[in-house]
Amino acid sequence: MNAGNLIDFFNQFASEAKCAEFIAQQRWGNEIICPKCGVVGIKAYKLASGRLKCAECRKPFTVRMGTIFEDSMIPLQKWLLAIYLCTSLKKGISSIQLARYLNVTQKTSWFMLQRIRYVFESGTFEKLKDAVEMDEAYIGGKDNNKHATKRTKYLTGKGAQGFGSKNSKTPVVGMVERGGSLHAVVTSDTGSATLMGLVRKHIDIDATVYTDEHMPYRTLPKIGYKHESVNHGVKEFVNGMASTNTAESFWSHLKRGINGIYHHVSPKHLQKYCDEYSYRWNTREMNDGERFEEWFANFNGKRLTYKTLTKKA
């Protein structure tokens, strides 16, 4: 994609046919895969309706089938604009603002953004290596600002730390390779069992893990990891190579985005927002057009229905 601004974008995607052609190229390249029968490299016939027809199973299909676009009445041009804005705007875009841009309802734009965020969940991360910073953040409003009936009875420890905590904020654990990728994972607590499970899953055993003074991190050497820390409690932010400044910069960006753009994010959907911000962080060296195209690397086979999205956890 050559789009460097919105004028370039609309020139490139001036019609529904151009949008469909772009999506087909991103999805299949030179070998079309039938979403109905799964045969690779099929010959597809174009019908008068604009749909394609598989030469193997003889069934019609479209570029939308098997993706977040399936069964959507929203034109592809509006979909692509929403994806471009969501991937290029540094702090994201609210559903109300997107609804104005696309001339759709706020409910529709919210559902579109949630489906776009669903694609950010790649689930195929390589383990972080070398120097890795690990830190926690706690997302949510202060209990003092809530109505009395919504406040928790007891507040204990650091945010939602441990199993006995009564704090209503939602913990997010961040792991970032210096000069590399970042993983942000929403958790139920920040106890030792939870943190060490994330370490084993996301961090290479040969990496050096830098943390703050949070007690559960003292378990790291016991499970085979090199560990160094800083003590934020006594205003120590750098200790030799040890610091969590890279992770802290991401938390600053995430919190400013949530507070300034979205204002409120429920714990149920928080992981999708973390995936959105992580995606823009991990593609920060790309320009807007490259980041837009990179989104399509993971969209095939992803479909999210409104019923699934809104069902109770």
Kindly report, residue by residue over 183-203, the tens digit of the pLDDT.
Answer: 999 998 899 999 999 999 999
User: Tokens 């997302």 correspond to what residue?
Assistant: 139
Mean pLDDT for all residues in the chain: 88
CB–CB of 282/290 below 8 Å?
no
Higher pLDDT, 149 or 20: 20
pLDDT band at residue 161, thresholds of 50, 70 and 90?
Answer: very low
The lowest-confidence range among 18-27, 107-116, 148-157 is 148-157
pLDDT given for residue 158 in this prediction: 53
Residue 14 has pLDDT above 90, yes or no: yes
| 49-66 pLDDT per residue, tens | 778 888 888 888 888 988
List the alpha helices (DSSP H) in 141-269. Answer: 192-202, 245-257
52, 60, 45: which is closest to 23 by C-alpha?
52
CB–CB of 133/176 below 8 Å?
yes
pLDDT given for residue 124 in this prediction: 61
pLDDT given for residue 167 in this prediction: 57
pLDDT band at residue 157, thresholds of 50, 70 and 90?
Answer: very low
Residues 123-154 as b or e (16 or more Cβ within 10 Å = b): eeeebbeebbbbbbbbbbeebeeeeeeeeeee
d(CA 182, CA 120): 13
pLDDT band at residue 164, thresholds of 50, 70 and 90?
Answer: very low
Average pLDDT over residues 259-287: 93
Residue 92 has pLDDT above 80, yes or no: yes
In sequence order, what are the beta bridge partners of 208?
A: 131, 226
pLDDT band at residue 181, thresholds of 50, 70 and 90?
Answer: very high
229, 277, 240, 247: which is closest to 176 by C-alpha?
247
Instruction: Give me the long-range contacts of 212-218 (CB less than 8 A, separation at least 24).
Output: 212/135, 212/244, 214/136, 214/158, 214/161, 214/190, 216/190, 216/191, 216/192, 217/134
What domains does the chain contain, in order, with CATH numbers? 1-18+74-120+283-313 (no CATH), 131-272 (3.30.420.10)
Higher pLDDT, 161 or 258: 258
Average pLDDT over residues 109-125: 88
Higher pLDDT, 175 or 4: 175
pLDDT band at residue 258, thresholds of 50, 70 and 90?
Answer: very high
| Burial class of residue 232 in the structure, from the number of CB atoms within 10 Å of its CB (0-12 exposed, 13-18 middle, 19+ buried) | middle
Higher pLDDT, 241 or 152: 241
Tokens of 197: 């499970």
CB–CB of 133/212 below 8 Å?
no
The lowest-confidence range among 100-104, 133-137, 232-236, 240-244 is 232-236
pTM check: above 0.85: yes
pLDDT given for residue 160 in this prediction: 47
Higher pLDDT, 227 or 165: 227
Average pLDDT over residues 67-72: 91
pLDDT given for residue 198 in this prediction: 95
Residue 159 has pLDDT above 70, yes or no: no
pLDDT given for residue 41 in this prediction: 77
pLDDT given for residue 85 in this prediction: 95
pLDDT band at residue 313, thresholds of 50, 70 and 90?
Answer: low
